[in-house]
A = this chain, B = another copy of it.
């Protein structure tokens, strides 16, 4: 069991921001990543469709004999995680719970959330925050173009800067801003410039990595095999900018990308 890989999936390249954090805290683990590029974007799809897509991706990962699954996607976490936990026996970790735990530990009350339209509409973030921090004041903003821009590789040009400004200019007086879509850490430097320096910009990948590490150690699931930590990447559609964007993000060559149906 220990030497089985960790499974992770997202609608596209966004989840690589999470993968990167997992690799930092658990470098000896093997990872299998599915980017559902054929179905991108999840953010504008109905809950029913997202549940169907998540089922398929989790079945793919179970077929690959992973020991635990990380849903590295804000939309999928907010719309489908509870449903997936009912259907599947395998442990599944989403991005919301560990992030809200961190907010509570830090005693933040004024919290901004930027995410896809689907995630904001589902109210997944705000509901979870209020359940744990009842007196929190939450400012939500849907940013439908940011994930598509990231998939296009427009993460550090003038267009990205203007789009980020347009989306977050009205969020005021916050202590923390949740990047509620895993694509958004790709714009972190730009976002930093738009906000007061004291605002804690939350890359959910870091919180997920802590949660996963705790889970792995608590259940004695750490990989003791070779300590090298391999990564296999599968995409549902290879004709996309995944490689270019992932390369910028990981700051190394991405090899070993295969097509999955």
Contacts and interface: CB of A to CB of B under 8 A. Distances in A.
Interface in A137-153: 144-145, 148-149, 151-152
B46 A44 contact: no
A159 B163 contact: yes
A152 B159 contact: no
Interface string A143-176: 0110011011010011100110010000000000
A149 B158 contact: no
A129 to B, nearest CB: 22
Nearest to A41: B44
A64 interface: no
Nearest to A158: B162
Contacts of A44: 40-41
Interface in A30-54: 38, 40-41, 44, 46
> Which of A151, A157, A158, A159: most chain B Cβ within 10 A?
A159
Nearest to A147: B148
Contacts of A154: 145, 166
A121 interface: yes
A11 to B, nearest CB: 11
Nearest to A240: B117
B144 A152 contact: yes
Contact of A145 (B46, B148, B158, B166): B148
Contacts of A162: 157-159, 162
A239 interface: yes
> Which of A40, A44, A239: most chain B Cβ within 10 A?
A44
Interface in A218-260: 239
A162 B159 CA distance: 6
Contacts of A121: 239
A40 B239 CA distance: 20
Contacts of A148: 144-145, 148
10 contacts: A38-B46, A40-B44, A41-B44, A144-B151, A144-B152, A145-B148, A145-B149, A148-B148, A159-B163, A159-B166
